[in-house]
């Protein structure tokens, strides 16, 4: 075996000199280097923005989505949607561990979820068994490579694999929420009814305390009773996240006419940057977890309306994010039940 680059640059086919995420094509062969791990893949959890784009482009046809995913992986050596640029995560079993990584807390046969994006993970698919459009999951047979720098979570033994994967797919969002929300804050969550929205809502409610206000919004009232009755938000309103003036008016009304300290964007459609920025006070914080976000539109849009806000890019990795997210499901029987009913 040869030793590869820590970050996987040795797998880049074109253009040379880039890292795997930015590259157009990477080497997905299953022969590992000294500092790589081989995974037998059983499922992909496609990033929500990516799956929404594929599902819409396929006119909601499963066979077409299967072919689109297979074509992307065959062309690029990884699952990186060419429209959204995003990927997702995978679940599988450890098949082999390079000799340089023998000190890891892993052994052959361990079940893991990778916590690095499929947009940089060498992936080779033999077959796609099933598409689950309601939960963005794809059952597959294939292999993948985890680089030396790659992070992962061992699947826990106190919950089902499907439940853990559903939560870990968006682990960065609630963990980052725990870092940025403070007691007494007013928090707006755009896309509050989805997986990441509910996890963020739970964490925000815990952090703001009795003096805070957590407001959720989605494009319809489907989630209103669910979120309110399970105390995942204090208030809820319906709006199109791509209509910033409407969102602003309703958001301010839900916060006693005041601008927010924090806004969290976890929607899966483009064009929602200004709906997130406008309701936030000068000196406040905007967290874009959505991979449908254009950070050019966000930066120029904030400048254009004179908003001096801090903006956090939705880095899917936050220290101990896997532990934080799985602990939420252990702390909250109500949220765990929601996930088991809707995402398995």
Please state whether beta strands 25-26 and 37-46 pair in parallel, antiparallel, or not at all (unpaired): unpaired
Q: State the pLDDT confidence band at 100, using cuts at 50, 70 and 90.
A: very high
Q: Residue 259: inside a domain, yes or no?
A: yes
What CATH number is given to the structural domain containing 183? Answer: 3.40.50.720
Residue 46 placed within a domain: yes
Q: What's the chain's average pLDDT?
A: 95
Last residue of a domain, one of 88, 121, 155: 155
194/127 same-domain check: no
pLDDT tens for residues 218-264? 999 999 999 999 999 999 999 999 999 999 999 999 999 999 999 99
Listed in order, strand segments (DSSP E) in 231-336 are 235-238, 260-265, 280-288, 310-313
Note whether 152 and 40 are within 8 A (CB): no
Report whether 246 contacts 219 (CB < 8 A). Answer: no
Which pLDDT value is given to residue 317?
A: 80
pLDDT band for position 139 (cuts 50, 70, 90)? very high
In tens, the pLDDT along 172-200 reads 999 999 999 999 999 999 999 999 999 99
Note whether residue 118 is domain-resident: yes
pLDDT at res. 232: 97
In this predicted structure, the answer to whether residue 309 has a pLDDT above a threshold of 80 is yes
- Chain-centre distance of CA 133, in angstroms? 16
Distance, in Å, from the CA atom of 185 to the CA atom of 207, rounded to the nearest integer, reads 8
Same domain? 227 vs 99? no
Phi, psi of 240 (to 5 degrees): -85, 120
Same domain, yes or no: 124 and 178? no
Q: Please indicate, yes or no, whether residues 260 and 320 belong to a single structural domain of this protein.
A: yes
pLDDT at 169 over 90: no
164 belongs to a structural domain: no
Asked if the structure places residue 165 within a domain, the reply is: no
338 and 260 assigned to the same domain = yes
Q: 96, 123, 155 — which closes off a domain? A: 155
Task: Provide, rounded to the nearest whole percent, the portion of the chain with pLDDT above 70.
Answer: 100
Q: HSE (CB half, 13 Å, CA atoms) of 137?
A: 21
Mark whether 249 and 324 lie in a shared domain.
yes
What pLDDT score was predicted for residue 316? 77
pLDDT number for residue 1: 66
Looking only at Cα atoms, what is the longest distance across the chain?
64
147 in the same domain as 220: no
Confidence of residue 268 (pLDDT cuts 50, 70, 90): confident
Omega prior to 15 cis, within 30 of 0: yes
Residues 77-92 have pLDDT tens digits of: 999 999 999 999 999 9
Given a cut of 80, is residue 170 above it in pLDDT? yes
Report CA torsion sign: 192, 137, 179, 267: negative
* Structural domain harbouring 73: 9-155
Residue 184's region, left for phi above 0, alpha for psi from -120 to 50, else beta, is left
Q: Do you know the residue count of the chain?
A: 344
Q: Is residue 138 part of a domain?
A: yes
Please identify, among 126, 155, 184, the residue that sits at the C-terminal boundary of a domain.
155
92 within domain boundaries: yes
- H helices then E strands: how many in the chain? 11, 14
| 188 shares its domain with 287 | yes
Is 196 a domain residue?
yes
Residues 134 and 259 placed together within one structural domain of the fold: no
Would you say residue 290 has pLDDT above 90? no
Considering its fold, how many domains does the chain have in total? 2
Q: Is 145 helix (H, G, I), strand (E, B) or coil?
A: strand
The answer to whether the beta carbons of residues 202 and 167 sit under 8 Å apart is no
User: Do 218 and 320 belong together in one domain?
Assistant: yes
Is there a single domain that holds both residue 183 and residue 139?
A: no
For residue 60 the two structure tokens come to 């909601």
pLDDT exceeds cutoff 80 at 107: yes
Q: φ and ψ at 241, to 5 degrees?
A: -65, -15
Average of pLDDT values for 319-344?
93
Per-residue tokens: 218: 């989605």
Strands 213-218 and 186-190: parallel
128 DSSP β-pair partners: 140
**Cβ proximity of 68 and 131 under 8 Å:** no
In a shared domain, residues 189 and 335: yes
Under 8 Å between Cβ of 68 and 57: yes
Please state which of the ranges 28-32, 158-162, 259-263, 279-283 shows the lowest mean pLDDT. Answer: 158-162
């Amino acid at each position: 075996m040869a030793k590869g680059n820590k970050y996987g640059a040795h797998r880049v086919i074109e253009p040379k000199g880039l890292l795997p995420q930015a590259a157009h094509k990477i080497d997905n062969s299953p022969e590992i280097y000294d500092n790589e791990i081989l995974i037998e893949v059983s499922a992909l959890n496609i990033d929500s923005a990516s799956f929404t784009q594929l599902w819409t482009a396929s006119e909601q046809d499963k066979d077409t989505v299967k072919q689109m995913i297979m074509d992307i992986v065959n062309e690029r050596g990884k699952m990186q949607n060419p429209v959204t640029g995003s990927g997702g995560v995978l679940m599988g079993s450890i098949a082999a561990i390079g000799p340089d990584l023998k000190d890891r807390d892993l052994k052959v046969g361990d079940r893991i979820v990778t916590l690095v994006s499929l947009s940089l993970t060498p992936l080779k698919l033999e077959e796609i068994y099933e598409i689950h459009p309601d939960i963005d999951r794809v059952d597959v047979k294939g292999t993948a490579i985890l680089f030396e720098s790659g992070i992962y979570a061992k699947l826990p033994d106190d919950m089902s694999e499907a439940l853990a994967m559903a939560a870990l797919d968006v682990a960065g969002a609630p963990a980052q929420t725990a870092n940025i929300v403070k007691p007494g804050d007013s928090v707006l969550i755009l896309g509050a009814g989805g997986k990441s929205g509910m996890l963020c809502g739970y964490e925000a409610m815990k952090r703001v305390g009795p003096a805070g206000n957590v407001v959720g919004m989605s494009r319809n009232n489907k989630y209103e009773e669910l979120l309110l009755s399970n105390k995942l938000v204090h208030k809820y309103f319906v709006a199109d996240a791509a209509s910033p003036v409407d969102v602003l008016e309703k958001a301010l009304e839900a916060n006693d006419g005041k601008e927010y300290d924090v806004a969290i964007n976890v929607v899966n459609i483009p064009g929602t940057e200004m709906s997130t920025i406008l309701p936030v006070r000068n000196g406040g914080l905007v967290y874009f977890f959505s991979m449908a976000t254009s950070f050019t539109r966000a930066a120029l849009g904030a400048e254009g309306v004179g908003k001096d806000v801090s903006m956090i890019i939705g880095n899917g990795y936050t220290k101990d994010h896997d532990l934080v997210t799985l602990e939420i499901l252990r702390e909250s029987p109500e949220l765990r039940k929601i996930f088991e009913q809707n995402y398995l």
